Amino acid sequence: MEATHLFLLQNIKRIRKEKGLTQQDVADGAEMLVPTYSRLERGGTNPNLSSIVRIADALGVSVIELFQSSDIKDRSVAQKVEMINELSEYNKNVINIMLDTVIEKDRVEQLQNVKMKNRLAELNAIGKKS
């Protein structure tokens, strides 16, 4: 099976499960017989373009989303990055400064938490010696 084909079928199944849909739900929405849809999802048959479009509609996603990587855990972040890329250079710089500030703040907080835990451990050790 071709890698793109396998990727598509895995995404269809993943999206269906994420949305809490059954094969029956998707088959009905895509105007397919359940055995046909089931065979398609398992890779037993190659979907044609019209089937892919109908399945995407039944899943409530775009055809493009069926081919997108699931590595992106939060698609809203990916969408925001796309929107940021369309901003003016000035606004991109503002966002970069804001992101750098938030990231630095988080790092400082993490470092403070580590130091605090170490100090508490030292105090506990002193308390046990007494």
Tell me what pLDDT residue 36 has: 95
pLDDT at 31 over 60: yes
Judge if 83 and 34 occupy the same domain: no
pLDDT of residue 56: 95
Q: Are both 41 and 96 inside the same structural domain?
A: no
Q: Going by C-beta distance under 8 Å and a sequence separation of 6 or more, which residues neighbour residue 46?
A: 5
Per-residue model confidence (pLDDT) at position 77: 64
Judged against a pLDDT cut of 70, whether residue 74 lies above it is answered with no
Q: What are phi and psi of 128, to 5 degrees?
A: -75, -30
Task: Report pTM.
Answer: 0.55
Domains held by the chain: number: 2
Task: Tell me how far apart the alpha carbons of residues 61 and 54 are, in angstroms, rounded to a whole number.
Answer: 10
Longest Cα–Cα distance of the chain, Å, equals: 77
Lowest mean pLDDT among 15-19, 65-69, 84-88: 65-69
Q: Is residue 89 located within the same domain as residue 118?
A: yes
Q: Which residue has the higher pLDDT, 109 or 80?
A: 109
**Based on the domain organization, do 87 and 108 belong to the same domain?**
yes
The answer to whether 54 and 32 are in contact (CB under 8 A) is: yes
Write out the DSSP string of 67-85.
TS-TT-S-HHHHHHHHHHH
Do 10 and 54 sit in the same domain of this protein?
Answer: yes
| Same domain as 44, residue 13 | yes
Q: Looking at the structure, tell me whether residues 45 and 81 fall in a common domain.
A: no
Instruction: CATH number of the domain at 51, please.
Output: 1.10.260.40
| Interacting residues of 84 by C-beta distance below 8 A, sequence separation 6+ | 92, 95
Residue ending a domain, choose from 21, 40, 66: 66
Domain that holds residue 18: 3-66
